Structure 1
Amino acid sequence: MKFRKSTARATLSLATALSLLLAAGSTSAMADVGLLGKPMPSADAEQSSTDQAPSAAAWDGVTPQQPVFTNGEAQPVYNGHPLVKDEVWIPVPGVDTDRDGKDDQIRATVYRPKDTDLGAA
Protein backbone atom coordinates (compact mmCIF):
# COMPACT_ATOMS: atom_id res chain seq x y z
CA MET A 1 0.00 0.00 0.00
CA LYS A 2 1.44 3.37 -1.01
CA PHE A 3 0.88 6.45 1.09
CA ARG A 4 0.74 9.83 -0.50
CA LYS A 5 3.06 12.29 1.18
CA SER A 6 1.18 15.40 2.18
CA THR A 7 2.87 18.65 3.05
CA ALA A 8 1.48 21.96 4.14
CA ARG A 9 3.27 25.10 3.16
CA ALA A 10 2.36 28.54 4.33
CA THR A 11 3.87 31.91 3.67
CA LEU A 12 4.21 34.14 6.69
CA SER A 13 5.12 37.76 6.34
CA LEU A 14 7.22 39.46 8.96
CA ALA A 15 4.35 41.85 9.67
CA THR A 16 2.04 38.90 10.37
CA ALA A 17 4.60 37.27 12.66
CA LEU A 18 5.15 40.51 14.58
CA SER A 19 1.42 41.15 14.93
CA LEU A 20 0.95 37.63 16.29
CA LEU A 21 3.88 38.12 18.63
CA LEU A 22 2.47 41.41 19.87
CA ALA A 23 -0.99 39.87 20.27
CA ALA A 24 0.64 37.25 22.46
CA GLY A 25 1.89 40.03 24.46
CA SER A 26 5.16 41.45 25.57
CA THR A 27 4.98 44.92 24.01
CA SER A 28 2.26 47.50 23.84
CA ALA A 29 2.89 49.29 20.55
CA MET A 30 5.52 48.72 17.91
CA ALA A 31 3.56 49.62 14.78
CA ASP A 32 5.84 52.55 13.97
CA VAL A 33 9.12 50.72 14.62
CA GLY A 34 10.80 48.40 12.12
CA LEU A 35 12.67 45.13 12.71
CA LEU A 36 15.92 46.81 13.73
CA GLY A 37 14.20 49.42 15.88
CA LYS A 38 14.42 52.17 13.27
CA PRO A 39 11.34 54.37 12.84
CA MET A 40 9.18 53.37 9.90
CA PRO A 41 7.92 56.20 7.68
CA SER A 42 4.20 56.69 8.09
CA ALA A 43 1.97 56.87 5.04
CA ASP A 44 0.23 60.08 6.10
CA ALA A 45 3.23 62.03 7.35
CA GLU A 46 5.68 63.88 5.16
CA GLN A 47 9.25 62.74 5.75
CA SER A 48 12.19 65.07 5.47
CA SER A 49 15.83 64.12 5.64
CA THR A 50 16.05 65.36 9.24
CA ASP A 51 13.24 63.02 10.37
CA GLN A 52 15.12 59.86 9.52
CA ALA A 53 17.74 58.13 11.65
CA PRO A 54 21.30 58.77 10.47
CA SER A 55 23.13 56.02 8.69
CA ALA A 56 26.19 55.11 10.73
CA ALA A 57 29.39 53.56 9.44
CA ALA A 58 30.58 50.36 11.08
CA TRP A 59 32.46 50.97 14.32
CA ASP A 60 36.00 49.60 14.38
CA GLY A 61 35.87 49.05 18.16
CA VAL A 62 38.80 51.41 18.79
CA THR A 63 37.92 54.90 17.60
CA PRO A 64 35.55 56.65 20.02
CA GLN A 65 32.11 57.16 18.51
CA GLN A 66 30.83 60.71 18.20
CA PRO A 67 27.17 61.70 18.60
CA VAL A 68 25.36 62.80 15.45
CA PHE A 69 23.69 66.22 15.55
CA THR A 70 21.22 67.56 12.99
CA ASN A 71 19.84 71.09 13.35
CA GLY A 72 21.29 71.22 16.87
CA GLU A 73 19.48 68.07 18.03
CA ALA A 74 21.12 64.78 18.92
CA GLN A 75 19.93 61.95 16.67
CA PRO A 76 18.89 58.58 18.07
CA VAL A 77 21.21 55.62 17.70
CA TYR A 78 19.50 52.25 17.46
CA ASN A 79 21.49 49.31 18.70
CA GLY A 80 20.88 46.09 16.79
CA HIS A 81 22.50 44.01 19.54
CA PRO A 82 21.63 42.04 21.55
CA LEU A 83 18.76 40.34 19.75
CA VAL A 84 15.87 38.54 21.40
CA LYS A 85 14.63 35.33 19.80
CA ASP A 86 10.87 34.72 20.02
CA GLU A 87 9.06 31.68 18.67
CA VAL A 88 5.38 31.82 17.81
CA TRP A 89 2.92 29.17 16.61
CA ILE A 90 0.58 30.25 13.83
CA PRO A 91 -2.59 28.29 13.00
CA VAL A 92 -3.14 27.42 9.33
CA PRO A 93 -6.94 27.43 8.82
CA GLY A 94 -8.32 24.60 6.73
CA VAL A 95 -5.11 22.53 6.69
CA ASP A 96 -5.06 19.25 8.62
CA THR A 97 -2.18 17.15 7.26
CA ASP A 98 -2.05 14.74 10.20
CA ARG A 99 -5.85 14.24 10.14
CA ASP A 100 -6.31 14.74 13.86
CA GLY A 101 -9.33 17.00 13.39
CA LYS A 102 -7.41 20.17 14.33
CA ASP A 103 -5.98 22.83 12.04
CA ASP A 104 -2.21 22.53 11.63
CA GLN A 105 0.18 25.11 13.03
CA ILE A 106 3.51 26.39 11.78
CA ARG A 107 6.30 27.68 13.97
CA ALA A 108 7.93 31.02 13.17
CA THR A 109 11.06 32.42 14.73
CA VAL A 110 11.19 36.20 15.12
CA TYR A 111 14.38 38.06 15.99
CA ARG A 112 13.99 41.56 17.39
CA PRO A 113 16.22 44.06 19.23
CA LYS A 114 16.17 43.77 23.02
CA ASP A 115 15.50 47.53 23.04
CA THR A 116 11.89 46.74 22.04
CA ASP A 117 11.07 44.82 25.25
CA LEU A 118 9.15 47.79 26.66
CA GLY A 119 7.48 48.82 23.40
CA ALA A 120 8.09 51.75 21.10
CA ALA A 121 9.89 54.75 22.51
Structure 2
Amino acid sequence: MSSLSSSSSSSSGSSDVHHDENQIIDDEEEEAEAEIAVAAAALPLAVVQLNPPQIPQHLGLPENSNDWVPDHVHIFLQWFKEEYATETLNVEAFRGMGGIQLKSLTEAQLKEKAPFVGDLIYNFFHLNE
Protein backbone atom coordinates (compact mmCIF):
# COMPACT_ATOMS: atom_id res chain seq x y z
CA MET A 1 0.00 0.00 0.00
CA SER A 2 2.70 2.42 0.90
CA SER A 3 4.33 1.94 -2.49
CA LEU A 4 1.06 2.92 -4.19
CA SER A 5 0.64 6.03 -2.14
CA SER A 6 4.24 7.07 -2.62
CA SER A 7 4.02 6.57 -6.38
CA SER A 8 0.79 8.52 -6.58
CA SER A 9 2.23 11.36 -4.51
CA SER A 10 5.36 11.45 -6.65
CA SER A 11 3.30 11.62 -9.85
CA SER A 12 1.21 14.35 -8.26
CA GLY A 13 4.40 16.21 -7.34
CA SER A 14 5.60 15.83 -10.90
CA SER A 15 2.31 17.25 -12.12
CA ASP A 16 2.71 20.27 -9.84
CA VAL A 17 6.22 20.89 -11.17
CA HIS A 18 4.95 20.57 -14.74
CA HIS A 19 2.10 22.98 -13.96
CA ASP A 20 4.57 25.45 -12.40
CA GLU A 21 6.83 25.23 -15.47
CA ASN A 22 3.86 25.94 -17.74
CA GLN A 23 2.90 28.95 -15.60
CA ILE A 24 6.45 30.29 -15.79
CA ILE A 25 6.44 29.85 -19.56
CA ASP A 26 3.03 31.59 -19.82
CA ASP A 27 4.31 34.47 -17.66
CA GLU A 28 7.45 34.80 -19.78
CA GLU A 29 5.35 34.81 -22.97
CA GLU A 30 3.10 37.54 -21.55
CA GLU A 31 6.14 39.63 -20.58
CA ALA A 32 7.63 39.17 -24.06
CA GLU A 33 4.33 40.17 -25.68
CA ALA A 34 4.16 43.27 -23.48
CA GLU A 35 7.72 44.23 -24.47
CA ILE A 36 6.85 43.74 -28.14
CA ALA A 37 3.75 45.92 -27.75
CA VAL A 38 5.82 48.71 -26.19
CA ALA A 39 8.41 48.44 -28.95
CA ALA A 40 5.72 48.39 -31.63
CA ALA A 41 4.15 51.54 -30.20
CA ALA A 42 7.50 53.32 -30.51
CA LEU A 43 8.22 51.92 -33.96
CA PRO A 44 6.58 54.62 -36.10
CA LEU A 45 8.63 57.31 -34.38
CA ALA A 46 11.80 55.22 -34.62
CA VAL A 47 11.22 54.56 -38.31
CA VAL A 48 10.64 58.25 -38.97
CA GLN A 49 13.84 59.10 -37.10
CA LEU A 50 16.02 56.52 -38.87
CA ASN A 51 14.58 56.87 -42.33
CA PRO A 52 12.90 60.24 -42.80
CA PRO A 53 10.08 59.82 -45.30
CA GLN A 54 9.88 61.85 -48.44
CA ILE A 55 6.71 63.47 -49.65
CA PRO A 56 5.62 61.85 -52.92
CA GLN A 57 6.05 64.09 -55.95
CA HIS A 58 2.63 63.13 -57.32
CA LEU A 59 1.04 65.25 -54.58
CA GLY A 60 2.20 68.32 -56.49
CA LEU A 61 3.52 70.14 -53.42
CA PRO A 62 6.28 72.72 -53.73
CA GLU A 63 9.60 71.15 -52.73
CA ASN A 64 10.21 73.81 -50.10
CA SER A 65 7.50 73.53 -47.44
CA ASN A 66 8.02 77.23 -46.63
CA ASP A 67 6.26 77.89 -49.94
CA TRP A 68 3.16 75.91 -48.99
CA VAL A 69 -0.18 77.69 -48.88
CA PRO A 70 -3.05 76.33 -46.75
CA ASP A 71 -4.21 74.03 -49.57
CA HIS A 72 -0.75 72.44 -49.69
CA VAL A 73 -0.78 71.88 -45.92
CA HIS A 74 -4.20 70.26 -46.27
CA ILE A 75 -2.93 67.94 -49.03
CA PHE A 76 0.16 67.07 -46.98
CA LEU A 77 -1.86 66.30 -43.84
CA GLN A 78 -4.33 64.15 -45.79
CA TRP A 79 -1.40 62.19 -47.24
CA PHE A 80 0.22 61.93 -43.81
CA LYS A 81 -3.03 60.68 -42.30
CA GLU A 82 -3.37 57.95 -44.93
CA GLU A 83 0.34 57.07 -45.07
CA TYR A 84 0.58 56.50 -41.32
CA ALA A 85 -2.98 55.28 -40.73
CA THR A 86 -3.52 58.04 -38.20
CA GLU A 87 -7.28 58.27 -38.04
CA THR A 88 -6.94 60.51 -34.99
CA LEU A 89 -5.37 63.32 -37.04
CA ASN A 90 -7.91 66.12 -37.39
CA VAL A 91 -6.79 67.91 -40.54
CA GLU A 92 -9.28 70.71 -39.85
CA ALA A 93 -7.29 71.72 -36.74
CA PHE A 94 -4.71 73.11 -39.19
CA ARG A 95 -7.17 75.01 -41.42
CA GLY A 96 -5.77 78.23 -42.88
CA MET A 97 -2.19 77.37 -41.92
CA GLY A 98 0.62 77.62 -44.48
CA GLY A 99 3.88 75.74 -44.46
CA ILE A 100 5.81 78.33 -42.48
CA GLN A 101 3.13 78.39 -39.77
CA LEU A 102 2.98 74.59 -39.64
CA LYS A 103 6.75 74.24 -39.31
CA SER A 104 6.96 77.00 -36.71
CA LEU A 105 4.74 75.07 -34.29
CA THR A 106 6.60 73.57 -31.37
CA GLU A 107 6.36 69.86 -30.66
CA ALA A 108 4.06 70.65 -27.71
CA GLN A 109 1.79 72.77 -29.92
CA LEU A 110 1.61 70.02 -32.54
CA LYS A 111 0.78 67.44 -29.86
CA GLU A 112 -2.02 69.74 -28.71
CA LYS A 113 -3.45 70.03 -32.23
CA ALA A 114 -2.78 66.38 -33.10
CA PRO A 115 -2.59 64.50 -29.77
CA PHE A 116 -1.35 61.11 -30.95
CA VAL A 117 0.73 62.12 -33.95
CA GLY A 118 1.94 65.65 -33.29
CA ASP A 119 5.41 64.37 -32.45
CA LEU A 120 5.51 62.47 -35.76
CA ILE A 121 4.58 65.59 -37.72
CA TYR A 122 7.16 67.60 -35.79
CA ASN A 123 9.89 65.02 -36.47
CA PHE A 124 8.87 64.73 -40.10
CA PHE A 125 9.78 68.35 -40.73
CA HIS A 126 12.74 68.64 -38.42
CA LEU A 127 14.40 65.43 -39.63
CA ASN A 128 13.91 66.37 -43.28
CA GLU A 129 15.66 69.74 -42.99
TM range (shorter): under 0.3
| TM-score, normalised relative to structure 1 | 0.24
Could you say which structure has the greater relative contact order, defined with CA pairs below 8 angstroms and 6 or more residues apart?
Answer: 1
Task: Choose between structure 1 and 2: higher strand proportion.
Answer: 1
Look at both structures and tell me which one has the larger radius of gyration over its CA atoms: 2
Task: Choose between structure 1 and 2: higher helix proportion.
Answer: 2
